[in-house]
Each structure stands twice: as C-alpha cells, then as structure tokens.
Structure 1
Amino acid sequence: MKPAEDWRNLDFVPCLHDTDPMPTLCRLAHLSIRINVPDHRPPHVHVVLPDRRDALVFLDTLEVMSRTVRPVEIAEALVWIKKHRDEARQRFEEWNP
C-alpha cells in the first residue's frame, strides 16, 4: 500500500498532547501503540493506557521514558514493538519527514 492508503486505514484518536490526530499502529488488550503526527526525533512510539497515561518507547533502543508508567505495565506492548520495530520506524519516518 502507498503511505496515503495506509494513513486512511488506520484508527485515529485524539492526541494527548495537542489536537492533531495520532494514528494507532496496534491495539492490545488494555493499551494502544501510536505515533504522533507531527512528532520529534528520535523515532519513537507512544504506548497509551486506558487511563490516558503514556510512555515513549524509542525504536532504536527500546528504552521506555515516562514519569507515570513502569515498563512492567507495558510489557505486552514492548514485545509487539520489538517484533515490529522496523515497520514502526518506517511509518514514523514517512509521517514525520
């Protein structure tokens, strides 16, 4: 698929930080993995919990950065991100040139 087609097929949710949409890469049992558009570097995804707490996961290192979310709370997401890291990085680069 072309990036524009991919974009239309993704779910959109309100961004936690502003009013721009945040495409959802994956919905797991109790969390979502998303990419802000636009967003800053280095390439990363946001893991968002049902209570709206979120964590950044850097795609190069899988480092978790959050003041409110512990890595154990997003263990399922970290497994998914590790498995799909290249795809997530490609999408980040396409949507945040």
Structure 2
Amino acid sequence: MSKSKPQKDEFLPTSADRATPFRTTSVILQAVDERFVAQEIRIRRQTLKHVSDIEEEFTFMKEDIKRVKAVLREKLAQQLSATSYGALAGFACHPR
C-alpha cells in the first residue's frame, strides 16, 4: 500500500476559494453598514423630537413671561398711582 504524495497544486487555493472570504466579509460589512444607517436615522429622529420639544417649551415660557410682565406692569402702575395719589392726598390733608 503505497500512498501517493499530494501534488503541490492540490494545496493551493483556487480563485473560487479565495473569493469566498471576500464575499463573506462584504456581506458582513454591508450588514454592519445597514445597522449604522438605521441607528443614525433613529438618533436623528430622537434629536429632532427633543429639539422641537424644547422649542415648544421655550415658546410657552415666552408667552408666560409676557403675561407675567403685563400683570407686573399693571400692578406696578396701580401701586405707583396709588402711592403718588396718597402722597398728594396726605399733603393736602395735612398742611404744614
């Protein structure tokens, strides 16, 4: 029983054998790329939602501040007019 020695050519990979790892790598990279794209889309949507929520809250706060300023102006004007009227009335009532 003599065993034949394998030829050197039997150990060399064929072009099909060499292409298989590249195809596998390409498929893996494409899948990773798709996941990154999906993740980027999700992050952008979340960021846009947060920004629009903040803008909406800012708008509400601006309107609240306008109302507070209007109330303060009204109260301050009433207080100033009452104070100046009281000072004049007190002066007229108590001559020196």
TM-score w.r.t. length of structure 1:
0.16
Bigger relative contact order (CA 8 A; separation at least 6): 1
Structure richer in strand, relative to its length = 1
Query: Which structure: larger Rg?
Result: 2
Structure richer in helix, relative to its length = 2
